Amino acid sequence: MSVAEAIEPGGLDEAAAALRRVAANIRTAVVVRDEVVEAVLIALAAEGHVLVEDLPGVGKTTLARALARSLSVTFARVQGTADLLPADLVGTNVYNQREARFEFRPGPIFANIVLVDEINRASPKTQSGLLECMQERHVTVDLHTHPLSLPFLVLATQNPIEFEGTYPLPEAQVDRFMVRVSLGYPSTASEVAMLTDHETGDPVDTLQPVATADEVLAAQDAARRVHASDPLRSYIVSLLTRTREDRRVELGASPRAGLLLLRAAKARALLHGRAHALPDDVQALAGPILAHRILLGPEAVGETAEGVIADAVSATPAL
């Protein structure tokens, strides 16, 4: 299939323009690095989910709210606590006395964009309740399956330094997140500007939608049809193999990691206005997509997963 057959030029331009409008809108209200905004939009276009891991007060929740307000979609926020039950997240059947039957009352997971704040404070049972939602995009309650709203994005946050009363995410749960990002502290100039912007209120509250749900779905369809060559697929596999052969790594990147990396690379190409993915797209996203999917061995003292992925990228020639 040729590039022209894969995606129409008009559809490419419209989809890319919609994503860029959302990015520009978010930046008017949130002080965040461009690569973080790009990673979130790539996950949205590639039908993935986002894990934001950073210190309190750097704008994790604000970023999710800004994304939701930039789109004409529904938004729900769930606070992770030890007593949060799966039914609080997915919904439950309630008996209707007037009609003498049970009816399903959907939970917050049925929103288009769902923010799960401090997900590692929720119990393992509740965390596992997210698995079917994030992977299959439907919920099964009492043998009945209920499809989720589309588009659907879970944006979860966790604090990497405060572990009292938390339940670390198991590998199977972490693997459901396409990208993991960290916001970091803003520059001095940006932080001064932020203090000025927040003197009279929260700028996020003034945001207006700049894209519709249909435009997001069209962007997702366009991202799926972005061309990826056989050499690019081979390059991704070589990169995965490099992580598995690294002596510092106990568990390398899985085949599913490669599938997500390819999808994300195609979405990045779309965001940059291209109908074909390049090795540059893979290299730019290798860290956010692969680093949380590898497990370092006990002898990797002083090493980080991000550093290992960076070494793999530099040592793997693009075909």
DSSP-assigned letters across all residues of 100-134? TEEEEEE-GGGSSEEEEETGGGS-HHHHHHHHHHH
pLDDT band with cut points at 50, 70 and 90 for residue 8: low
Residue 111 lies in a domain: yes
* Number of domains making up the chain: 1
Residue 285 lies in a domain: no
Residue 147 lies in a domain: yes
Residue 182 lies in a domain: yes
Structural domain of 39: 31-197
CA atoms in the 13 A half-sphere facing the CB of 30: 30
CATH number of the domain that 165 lies in? 3.40.50.300
Structure tokens at 53: 């891991």
What is the rounded average pLDDT of the residues 267-278?
Answer: 96
Given phi > 0 = left and psi -120 to 50 = alpha, else beta, which region is 143?
left
Query: How many Cβ atoms from other residues are within 10 Å of residue 250's Cβ?
Result: 13
For residue 99, the Cα-to-chain-centroid distance in whole angstroms is 41
Whether the CB-CB separation of 278 and 318 falls below 8 Å is answered with no
Task: Count the residues in the chain.
Answer: 319
Residue 144 lies in a domain: yes
Q: Whole-model pTM?
A: 0.90
For residue 207, the Cα-to-chain-centroid distance in whole angstroms is 21
Structure tokens at 162: 């405060």
User: Would you state the pLDDT for residue 3?
Assistant: 43
Residue 189 clears pLDDT 60, i.e. is over it:
yes
Structure tokens at 11: 């559809």
107 φ/ψ angles, rounded to the nearest 5 degrees: -95, -175
Whether the CB-CB separation of 115 and 157 falls below 8 Å is answered with yes
Buried residues in 175-188 as b, exposed as e (16+ CB within 10 A) = bbbbbbbbbeebee
- Residue 276 to residue 282: CA distance in whole angstroms: 12
Cis preceding-peptide flag for 168 (omega within 30 of 0): no
- Residue 242 to residue 236: CA distance in whole angstroms: 10
pLDDT tens digits for range 13-55: 899 999 999 999 999 988 888 999 999 999 999 999 999 988 7
**Nearest C-alpha neighbor of 86 from the set 133, 118, 147:** 133
**Nearest C-alpha neighbor of 30 from the set 4, 67, 1, 5:** 67
Structure tokens at 184: 């970091």
**Nearest C-alpha neighbor of 179 from the set 34, 303, 289:** 289
Residue 97 lies in a domain: yes
pLDDT tens digits for range 66-113: 999 999 999 999 999 989 998 899 988 888 888 888 888 899 999 999
Structure tokens at 147: 């499809």
179 φ/ψ angles, rounded to the nearest 5 degrees: -130, 150
Residue 37 lies in a domain: yes
Residue 206 lies in a domain: no
pLDDT band with cut points at 50, 70 and 90 for residue 9: low
